[in-house]
Chain A
Amino acid sequence: MTAQATEHLLLQMQGIGKEFPGVKALEGVHLSVRAGQVHALLGENGAGKSTLIKILSGAYTRDEGEILFEGQPVDIRTPADAERLGISTIYQEFNLTQHMTIAENIFLGHLPKKAGRVDWSTVRRRSRELLDSLDVGLDVDMLTGSLTVAQQQMVEIAKALNRNTRVLIMDEPSAVLGERDIERLFDVVRRLQASGIGIVYISHRLKEIFELADEVTVLKDGRYVDTRRVADVTMDDLVRLMVGRDLVDVFPKRRTKPGEVVLEVSGLAQPKLARDVSFSVRSGEIVSLAGITGSGRTEVARVIFGADKATSGQMRLGGQPYRPRSPRDAINHGVALVNEDRKKEGLLLKLQVFFNITVSGLDRLARYRVLRLKDEKSLVAKWIESLRIKTPGQNFMVVNMSGGNQQKVVLARWLSLGIKVFIMDEPTRGIDVGSKAEIYQIMSDLAEQGVAIIMISSELPEVLGMSDRVIVMREGRTVKEINRAEATEELVMQYAVGHEEAVAG
């Protein structure tokens, strides 16, 4: 096999490493793409897939390793370098200008000129040819903004073909599509494959990999795990390759038993991603919502916190019907949310530590509506000390703090209010190991004090290490509840990616 395969070897990445301040994003990663083959890239969230394709497309530059194109070493430093080599990427967020026509988008930045003017007849003829080759019957004069997501994706593909693409990277192309459109996408991918293009296909859905890919490379925590021929592996193998790793024992043990049910959610839906979500959480209990990105977990959290409205379903808090009108309403009911994106939604970055800690509970610090700044100062000092927040002073701007300390500021804000239900969305994302352990300890202490905690996490070791129960969500629905004793990374992952039927069968 190898003689013929190497002959078709288009692209090789060897020993690729990339470091961001404080984080080793990639280390020793290999990837080989052959002409006319689909190479799947697989890994959990944060495994390094996005970083790898960004290096390939010139958005990032590598720190270590070599890239060979048709056997020749190449240096990809800018998107223009990648384009010159014929490497195109279709991201989940399309790069189309909504107010322009299909033809204009296909030729954007590459408009052919004739006697100093744009040669529109060539633009339109060539665009039509490209769409025909994909079997897409769209009028090239239509505005891109009026197209469906699936149609826009086809325009993106046509745009890539127009640039003489030899390697096409597709970042979770099926995530945004419905069943029927996925079939259409597969047809197109096979067509491209037949024309000799090498395709890097990223997906969380194992089923698709078996349907489409020739080879699969698995990444884990920024490291290379293995490359296998799809024909030679089973789904179980892939799941094991994705999650198999050492569990670091940083998770504190708890002694207390969970108490009464505090929050009950049933049949909850919201307009975007959550469709049918039911679960409950008891006082002193840590329940995890597990699932892949886009499974609707964050959306559920936002509805419980009153940040978004539910379209249907019921919630009960302490036995009483609960339907928060706003975050303020939720906070008044004793519900708090630690946001997934602490910098965009959690913190007031250019304001001070004290401001961020007391901003949600100022009414408690006021007498006749006048803030008692001395009381505020001692309250803030107390939380800085008890959470061991490292800061030069109360007036320090939080934008200049480390991720771990920023997260502690967010926690201090809610803890100072005496919260009953604590929703924590990716509480340790972008945080160093030491602060992680401290945050786990805080969560554990809170649970012992009877707080009900709902944790959303994409890190399976964290999910297994911290939770009393794991609720798995997939495509906006709660699909499985797993008790602590039975939970394994493989089991959670199987339900999260929709592989449980295969297990049962």
Chain B
Amino acid sequence: MSSAQSATVRTRPAFVSTLLASPIFGPAAALVLVSVFFAITAPRFLSPGTFSLILQQVMVVGVMAIGQTLIIVTTGIDLSCGMLMGLSGLLMAGFAVRGGLNPWLAMLLGIGVAVLFGFLNGALVTGVGLPAFIVTLGTMNIAWALKRIYSTSTITLTDEQAPLLFLGTPIKVGGTELPPPGILLLLILYVVAWFMMKYTAAGRSVYAVGDNIEAARLAGINTKRVLLAVYTVAGMAYGIAALLQIARTGVGDPNAGESSNGNMDAITAAVIGGTSLFGGRGSMAGTLIGVMIVGILRAGLQLMGIPTTYQVLVTGVLVIAAVSVDQLTHRK
């Protein structure tokens, strides 16, 4: 019996071994499991609209998760990401509607604020040498307060601000309705991020810094510049996510980014996707899978009629499970 088993192990084709050894095998398997589960249990999960809906729901978190992944790979963490996204979106809407600015300019300024905060996070981490957790806890609160100071009511966008709404508006071709272009942007950003991580020296240096910052410095990497760039690029990702957020909802919302699925889901997605909190490991493909898992989970539970509170509970359990797996494999 056991010899027969070992024989099958030995004759396992090479591509299967490669597949099993791949760092995204676990997350991908989890994605399949979650999908199959809801396909069986949740009514209407397999209807054509559901997939498009899930993509629309995850596009904001998905773009934020790109920045979060970069930061976690360098052993950092960004607690401010949801708040920065919220602040950036609120300002975009506010500049355009209340300030009467050209919507394109408002967009740039809004993203610019997120970039600036990202740079500030990076500067405090590299320059002052503070832990990312503390720095971003601080900027999280600052961004929250700035949102409230700027506006306590929602700012509704109109057709005059079309450039700010375009990405979230479904495209009608003839009689059929295609998903909004924001989804395409999400996928393009993931391809770009994946390419950067795999095919550029910059991407390599992010992994090197995450594995061992002193060894990376002694290998000739300008570690401070890498960290500063990582936090700044993450800020830009939050700014773009903010654009998607207001385009999808049609309003600048002072509460945006505060609910559990706004602030923490980006971290959850990155970790579920195999990004190690110990640094040096993680991939954009894995994070995208993580984003999908979180999205499918929420949508599936919704379709089953389970209240939002329980969805939050399930994602909480999921994060702890993913981090535990990371910890156990790390120890090995």
Contact of B218 (CB < 8 Å), options: A307, A350, A363: A307
Q: Does B192 contact A (CB under 8 A)?
A: no
Nearest A residue (CB) for B224 = A326
Task: Choose among A327, A331, A346, A347 the residue with the greatest number of B CB atoms under 10 Å from its CB.
Answer: A327
| CB atoms of B219 and A348 under 8 A apart | yes
Q: Does A339 contact B (CB under 8 A)?
A: yes
Segment of A32-40, A364-372, A448-456 in the binding face? A364-372
Q: Does A502 contact B (CB under 8 A)?
A: no
User: With the chains together, A371 CA to B219 CA distance in Å?
Assistant: 18
Q: Does A359 contact B (CB under 8 A)?
A: yes
| CB atoms of B214 and A344 under 8 A apart | yes
Contact of A350 (CB < 8 Å), options: B200, B204, B211, B216: B211
Q: Does A413 contact B (CB under 8 A)?
A: yes
Which of chain A's residues have a CB closer than 8 A to the CB of B219?
327, 348, 359-360, 413
| CB atoms of A348 and B211 under 8 A apart | yes
- Counting contact residues on chain A (CB < 8 A from B), the size range is 20 to 34
Which of chain A's residues have a CB closer than 8 A to the CB of B216?
348, 359
| CB atoms of B199 and A328 under 8 A apart | no
Q: Does A362 contact B (CB under 8 A)?
A: yes
Q: Does A248 contact B (CB under 8 A)?
A: no
| CB atoms of B217 and A348 under 8 A apart | no
Within 8 A of B (CB), among A187-224: none
| CB atoms of A360 and B220 under 8 A apart | yes
A348-B215, A348-B219, A370-B199 are known contacts; what are 16 more A-B pairs with Cβ within 8 Å? A305-B218, A326-B217, A326-B220, A327-B219, A328-B221, A344-B212, A355-B208, A359-B204, A359-B219, A359-B220, A359-B221, A366-B200, A369-B201, A370-B200, A371-B201, A371-B204
Those 9 A-B pairs whose CB atoms lie nearest each other, nearest first: A362-B201, A348-B211, A328-B220, A331-B220, A360-B220, A360-B219, A359-B219, A371-B199, A327-B220
Which of chain A's residues have a CB closer than 8 A to the CB of B281?
350
Q: Per-residue 0/1 for B197-238: is the Cβ within 8 Å of any A Cβ (1 yes, 0 no)?
A: 001110011011001101111111110000000000000000
Q: Does B280 contact A (CB under 8 A)?
A: yes
| CB atoms of A362 and B204 under 8 A apart | yes
Which of chain A's residues have a CB closer than 8 A to the CB of B280?
348, 350-351
User: With the chains together, A185 CA to B221 CA distance in Å?
Assistant: 45
Q: Per-residue 0/1 for A319-362: is the Cβ within 8 Å of any B Cβ (1 yes, 0 no)?
A: 00000001110010000010100001111111100010001101
User: With the chains together, A348 CA to B280 CA distance in Å?
Assistant: 9
Nearest A residue (CB) for B203 = A371
Within 8 A of A (CB), among B256-310: 280-281
Which of chain A's residues have a CB closer than 8 A to the CB of B222?
326, 328
Which of chain A's residues have a CB closer than 8 A to the CB of B204?
355, 359, 362, 371
User: With the chains together, A331 CA to B221 CA distance in Å?
Assistant: 10
User: With the chains together, A337 CA to B215 CA distance in Å?
Assistant: 11
Which of chain A's residues have a CB closer than 8 A to the CB of B215?
344-348
Residue ranges of A at the interface with B (Cβ–Cβ < 8 Å): 305, 307, 326-328, 331, 337, 339, 344-351, 355, 359-360, 362-363, 366, 369-371, 373, 413
Nearest B residue (CB) for A362 = B201
Contact of A373 (CB < 8 Å), options: B199, B201, B217, B220: B199
User: With the chains together, A345 CA to B216 CA distance in Å?
Assistant: 8
| CB atoms of A337 and B218 under 8 A apart | yes
| CB atoms of B214 and A351 under 8 A apart | no
Which of chain A's residues have a CB closer than 8 A to the CB of B199?
370-371, 373
| CB atoms of B201 and A351 under 8 A apart | no
Nearest B residue (CB) for A417 = B220
* 12 A-B residue pairings within 8 Å (CB atoms): A326-B220, A327-B217, A327-B220, A337-B218, A339-B218, A347-B212, A350-B211, A351-B211, A355-B207, A359-B204, A362-B201, A370-B200
Which of chain B's residues have a CB closer than 8 A to the CB of A371?
199-201, 204
| CB atoms of B208 and A348 under 8 A apart | yes
With A331-B220, A337-B218, A344-B212 as given contacts, are A363 and B207 in contact (CB-CB < 8 Å)?
no
User: With the chains together, A327 CA to B217 CA distance in Å?
Assistant: 7
Which of chain B's residues have a CB closer than 8 A to the CB of A369?
200-201
Which of chain B's residues have a CB closer than 8 A to the CB of A327?
217-220
Nearest B residue (CB) for A326 = B222
Which of chain B's residues have a CB closer than 8 A to the CB of A326?
217, 220, 222
User: With the chains together, A348 CA to B206 CA distance in Å?
Assistant: 12
User: With the chains together, A346 CA to B214 CA distance in Å?
Assistant: 9
User: With the chains together, A328 CA to B217 CA distance in Å?
Assistant: 8
| CB atoms of A307 and B208 under 8 A apart | no
Within 8 A of A (CB), among B225-254: none
User: With the chains together, A474 CA to B280 CA distance in Å?
Assistant: 40
Nearest A residue (CB) for B281 = A350
Which of chain B's residues have a CB closer than 8 A to the CB of A328?
220-222
| CB atoms of A307 and B211 under 8 A apart | no
Q: How far is the CB of A202 from chain B (nearest CB, A)?
A: 29
Which of chain B's residues have a CB closer than 8 A to the CB of A373?
199
Nearest A residue (CB) for B204 = A362
Within 8 A of A (CB), among B3-53: none
User: With the chains together, A349 CA to B205 CA distance in Å?
Assistant: 14
| CB atoms of A348 and B212 under 8 A apart | yes
| CB atoms of A349 and B200 under 8 A apart | no
With A369-B200, A371-B199 as given contacts, are A351 and B218 in contact (CB-CB < 8 Å)?
no
Q: How far is the CB of A263 from chain B (nearest CB, A)?
A: 18
Which of chain B's residues have a CB closer than 8 A to the CB of A366?
200-201
Which of chain A's residues have a CB closer than 8 A to the CB of B201?
362-363, 366, 369, 371
Nearest B residue (CB) for A365 = B201
Task: Choose among A346, A355, A362, A373 the residue with the greatest number of B CB atoms under 10 Å from its CB.
Answer: A362
User: With the chains together, A413 CA to B220 CA distance in Å?
Assistant: 11
Nearest B residue (CB) for A332 = B220
